[in-house]
Amino acid sequence: MDTLSADRAEVKGREGPWRDYSEPLLPPILEAALECFVEHGYHGTTIRTVAARAGLSVPGLYHHYPSKQALLVAIVHKAMEDLLARSQAALAEAGPPVEARFAALIECLVLFHAHRSKLAFISASEIRSLEGESREAHIAARDRQQRILDDIVSQGAAEGIFATKFAKHSSRAIVTMCTGVAQWYDPAGSLTPEELADSYVTIARAALRG
């Protein structure tokens, strides 16, 4: 059995709430706003457009969210909150071994960016549209997520588990590879999110062999 076939076989029988994407994350109003932001961009979307997509009047929308900025802030907050919670659950399941933690986190990142591709795409591409403290908070959350893998790779390099001489740069490159899934993944393609995640674990491991 080749490596990819073996990785695909590992998918069968896996459980764990951090792998479960059966329930929607966003309430209907935020889901409507997300769809509008994906189609028109943040600056190209009006409150009236979001209200119409959500089946509300403009005053009705304002009753729940006072501005378009508030919609964006709520969307990116839920995205980062969900990703961080799933990452922590994945690490808890993996236990102490560095290699197990590394594989679990890569799987988690790819699953999130495949299953929640629109949410991940807007959270990354519309950072420029966030204002003030909301932008700072989102960047801090993103950096906190990055440091999780930074720490794992650095520990693995220090212990001789990973051969890379560039732990921090390797970690950033691997995260960029995983988050890029949101830009191109097609659920109608040849790989399920789970199969894609397993192939990325193999690729990421190979990147740390020196």
- pLDDT tens by residue, 25-75: 999 999 999 999 999 999 999 999 999 999 999 999 999 999 999 999 999
Mean pLDDT, the chain, as a whole number?
92
- pLDDT tens by residue, 130-152: 999 999 999 999 999 999 999 99
pLDDT of 198 above 60: yes
pLDDT of 3 above 70: no
% of residues, the chain, pLDDT over 90: 91
Three-class SS state of 108: helix
Could you tell me the residue ranges of all domains in the chain? 3-13+69-207
| pLDDT band at 13; cut points 50, 70, 90 | very low
Mean pLDDT, range 183-201, rounded to an integer:
95
CA-wise closest residue to 39 among 168, 130, 125 = 125
C-alpha–C-alpha distance, residues 25 and 15, integer Å: 19
With contact defined as beta carbons under 8 Å apart, do 7 and 202 qualify?
yes
3-13+69-207: CATH homologous superfamily? Tetracycline Repressor, domain 2 (1.10.357.10)
Q: What is the pLDDT of residue 109?
A: 98
Which amino acid makes up residue 46?
A: T
Q: What is the pLDDT of residue 15?
A: 60
Using CA atoms in the order 151, 152, 156, 161, what is the torsion angle rounded to 10 degrees? -170
- pLDDT tens by residue, 82-102: 999 999 999 999 999 999 999
Tokens of 210: 């020196």
Phi, psi of 6 (to 5 degrees): -65, -40
- Tokens 């789970």 -> residue: 194
C-alpha–C-alpha distance, residues 71 and 107, integer Å: 29
| DSSP state for residue 43 in the 8-state scheme | T
Q: What is the pLDDT of residue 210?
A: 58
| DSSP state for residue 96 in the 8-state scheme | S
With contact defined as beta carbons under 8 Å apart, do 57 and 64 qualify?
no
Q: How far is CA 13 from the centre of its chain?
A: 23
| pLDDT band at 209; cut points 50, 70, 90 | confident
Mean pLDDT, range 183-205, rounded to an integer:
95
Q: What is the pLDDT of residue 14?
A: 53
